[in-house]
Amino acid sequence: MAVGNGGLAPTGRRRQSVTIKHVAADAGVSLQTVSRVINNGPNVRPAMKERVQASIDKLGYVPSIAAQRMSGSRSYLILAINDRDRTIADWRAREGRDWIDQMLLGGMLTAAERGYRMIFELVDTHSDHVERELGAAIAALRPDGIIVTPPHSENLQITDLLAESGIPFARIGSKEEGPGIAITMGDEYLAALATDHLIELGHKRIGLIAGPDEYSLAGWRIDGWCEAMGRAGLSVDGLCVKGDFGFESGIAAANSLLDRPDPPTAIIASNDQMALATLQVARERGLAVPEDMSLISFDNSPVVRFTDPPLTAVEQPIAATVSRAVEMLIDARTHAPPAEPVQIQGELVVRRSTGPARVDGR
């Protein structure tokens, strides 16, 4: 009796891989025309581009990045770098931070839409190793563009090294003059937006737990908070305490603010970890949120939706920012970099951790 193959279709001859030659033959055009369409080259009529794209879709052709790299000076790779020690510490802590996830979401999807790939690389950005580490990554990958994240986006050793390489790069979280494309997420605006929300709820003593000085965005958030408080004629004296974006520093900062003779009725924490710490301190002191104290966080990572109560939070547009950085780096060959920093604006997501100030002034 013949032995079957479990209901599977006959294996037969292995399906031949679709190449650029098959696309050219199907579309009735030259190999050069297909190549220009794939690489978004100039001088291709819209009708011809549609014709070639129809053949690509019909045949299921996937351009080879290796072949693309051999055909010209482009590598079709965008390199995003993050600090090795900080990133690994965040991953091991498993505390719900999603900065990297959002970077990959925005960058990888946009790169793929443009026929590129985004590679994420962890680099030891300490001064003793940065030149070797970053130089090795650039030499190995030969990227068409590089994305640098804070606080390294304002590290002169890093930005000078990138400028010398001649590779276009984007500095996220930077407004400093210098080489590269400066991109911010509107931190002053977002801090002011959060403060205005609390002022509209009747709060007059609004504390801020700021980030460390090595991050310029920490200072921008202080500026936005101060500006909003000033517009409302409210004092900020003694209401700002700095942390290091870690949970324990948030505990210390929240206790410092709430130990004041006239403690704040609302607190804005500059990231989710310090906001979670503040929520814990409030509970330990018998303070109900938001009945006794309102609380707003920056970041809006997934964890703040599941606290009790869910936290009102500033949504940082990380994915949109990295997406825009990828677009500008890909276009850098044909477009001059913007003269001013590019700002990608986020929003305030209101949940149940903010409410009216108590009528007794607390």
> Quick check: is 65 in a domain?
no
Domain shared by 166 and 53, yes or no? no
What is the end-to-end Cα distance of the chain in Å, rounded? 88
Domain shared by 105 and 169, yes or no? yes
- Give the per-residue pLDDT at 5: 44
Q: How many structural domains compose the chain?
A: 3
Domain shared by 310 and 325, yes or no? no
- Give the per-residue pLDDT at 141: 83
Domain shared by 155 and 129, yes or no? yes
> Quick check: is 192 in a domain?
yes
Please, which residues have CB within 8 angstroms of residue 138's CB and are 6 or more apart in sequence?
A: 79, 146, 165, 167
Q: pTM of the prediction?
A: 0.77
> Quick check: is 3 in a domain?
no
> Quick check: is 14 in a domain?
no
Which among 58, 88, 104 is the end of a domain?
A: 58
Task: For residue 41, give its domain range.
Answer: 20-58
Domain shared by 146 and 198, yes or no? no
What's the CA gap between 13 and 15, in Å, rounded?
A: 6
Q: Print pLDDT tens along the chain (362 aa).
A: 444 444 444 444 344 578 888 988 999 998 888 877 876 676 788 888 899 989 988 888 876 655 555 455 678 899 998 888 888 888 887 776 788 889 999 999 999 998 899 999 888 766 677 778 888 888 888 899 999 988 888 888 888 889 988 899 999 988 888 889 999 999 999 999 999 999 999 999 999 999 999 888 999 999 999 999 999 999 999 999 999 999 999 999 999 999 999 999 999 999 999 999 999 999 999 999 999 999 999 989 888 999 999 999 999 999 999 999 999 999 988 888 888 899 999 999 999 999 999 876 44
Domain shared by 238 and 148, yes or no? no
**Residue 9 burial by Cβ neighbours in a 10 Å radius (0-12, 13-18, 19+):** exposed
Q: In this structure, what CATH number is given to the domain that contains residue 109?
A: 3.40.50.2300
Domain shared by 210 and 274, yes or no? yes
Residue 187 tokens, joined? 């931190």
- Give the per-residue pLDDT at 360: 62
- Give the per-residue pLDDT at 200: 97
Domain shared by 33 and 94, yes or no? no
Please, which residues have CB within 8 angstroms of residue 218's CB and are 6 or more apart in sequence?
A: 210, 211, 212, 242, 270
> Quick check: is 67 in a domain?
no
